[in-house]
Chains A and B, each alone.
Chain A
Amino acid sequence: MQLSYFRRVAAGGAVAALAFAGVGAFTATPAYAATSKVSVVHGIPDTPVDVYVNGKKTLDNFKPGDVAGPLNLEEGDYDIALTKPGEPIGSAILKVDNAAVPGGANISIAAHLDAAGQPKITPFVNDVSKVDAGKARLIVRHTAAAPEVDVRAGGTPVFKNLTNPNEAKGDVDAGNVKADVVLAGTDTVAIGPADLNLKEGTATIVYAIGSAEGKTLDVVAQTITGLHSAPGGVPSGDGGQAGTGVNTWWYVLTGAGVLLLLGGGVRMATARTGRK
């Protein structure tokens, strides 16, 4: 009877000691994304268009060099058609039927010239994974009627042998960089140089557009924000003058208290058993 009482007290002391060390945790639950974000990039020189999605006019008089969106589209197949402004969908200049849009993705649909100079539509899936703190993502897409190219930053090739309709990408230190595009393996500048401001925690997507032959080479840029990560921590003190909480002796004292209670209880119990 007495023993069980004291055991309870001892146990209570131990629980109290643990409770002081407890810290509340914060958990964030990501929202479920059922739709995809879709942007449209216009990279065909001198050709403003109307854009139809599933037979419905979505963009009116969409101009070369412009970026539209992002639109939230549910997962599924879409018919995309481009017409000259004001013309009926029946006389579309470019058409893609049943373009598959997956769920939860970030997609850019580029209307551009292929390497031979013919208009085409290419979907790109954008890498919207987080970048490390202090970093920015640079994505370059070759969507011009031009041969293989290298992309240089500060005069040094960073992406080599890029061909239409492909992309190259990398996460780099955020900040300003002077970039240009040269014919692969040469110093012959095709586009640029241009100053790129790569903002931390964003993806900058640069499309090379136009035609080398038509001397209409140019760039279109699209920026995706919100890819930043927090720093790994905020270390801001190593002096110890502001320390709170308990010292080692506190644990010794608590441990001794618990042992004394247990020991005393056990002795008392054995003493009683012995008397019986």
Chain B
Amino acid sequence: MTVRNRGALAALAAGVAALTVATLVACGSQPAEDVGADEAANLATATPTPSASAAGGQSVPVTAGELPAGAEIVPPVRLVIPAIDVTATVNAVGINKRTNEFEVPPSVDEIGWYRYGPGLETTAGSIVIAGHVDSAQQGKGAFFRLRELDQGDTLTATGGDGKARKYRVVAREEYAKTKIPLDRYFARDGKPRLTLITCGGPFDAKARKYRDNIVVTAVPA
């Protein structure tokens, strides 16, 4: 065997070793797999509304054309998730006008309920609560351990009416922010459900952004 050949073999061996280590590291640093993705998708399937048809001879719904009044919406004010040690104040939040994004409360200890969507009283659609996973200035946020939640974990949301409502986790998913089906999570139809959102996945230290969103879906228990 020539010297040249030995060198080539060594290079090959080193290459294999490097790739093996890289593969092991990549496997080890994968986030916990998504659970319940199908269940979450099924919840979003719109409930069919009975349609009035002139030909079918069904009665046509008639309403008094009164100006719309403010609907009775029950905002969540407190969220407790024992499995990950969360007890957080919930603020009603909307849209950041500059970015058109969800206005997550600036304090990382507090979480935000999307006030344009359904409240706890809803019989349809997704109640959305989002919170910080962490912040550069304030450290760990209320939803730091959200990705540890698993199917069957319970949580309790207390409404502005003082009534506590229990929910059961059915799904935990991770999506790249560029791919997340937000329309589904901000839907106002489909089965009533509670959707918790935070950031996760690889962190881009230059842009100071996480690549992914962690989404936990829970249903009334």
Chain A residues with CB under 8 Å of chain B are 6, 9-10, 13, 16-17, 20, 23-26, 28, 41-42, 53-54, 56, 58-59, 62, 65-73, 132-134, 174, 176, 194-202, 204, 206-207, 219-223, 225-226, 228-246, 250, 253-254, 256-265, 267-268, 271
Contacts and interface: CB of A to CB of B under 8 A. Distances in A.
Given A221-B68, A239-B135, 18 more contacts: A9-B16, A26-B179, A66-B64, A225-B188, A226-B188, A228-B186, A231-B114, A233-B102, A234-B130, A234-B197, A237-B210, A240-B134, A240-B136, A242-B133, A243-B210, A250-B25, A257-B22, A264-B9
B60 A58 contact: yes
Nearest to B175: A23
Contact of A41 (B22, B41, B65): B65
Interface stretch (B49-57, B76-84, B154-162): B49-57
B23 A237 contact: no
A221 B69 CA distance: 11
B143 interface: yes
Contacts of B99: 232-233, 235
The size class of the interface chain B forms with chain A is 35 or more
A240 B18 contact: no
B201 interface: yes
B178 to A, nearest CB: 9
Instruction: Determine the main DSSP class of A at the interface with B.
Output: mixed
Contacts of A257: 14-19, 22
A209 to B, nearest CB: 9
Contacts of B186: 133, 228, 230-231
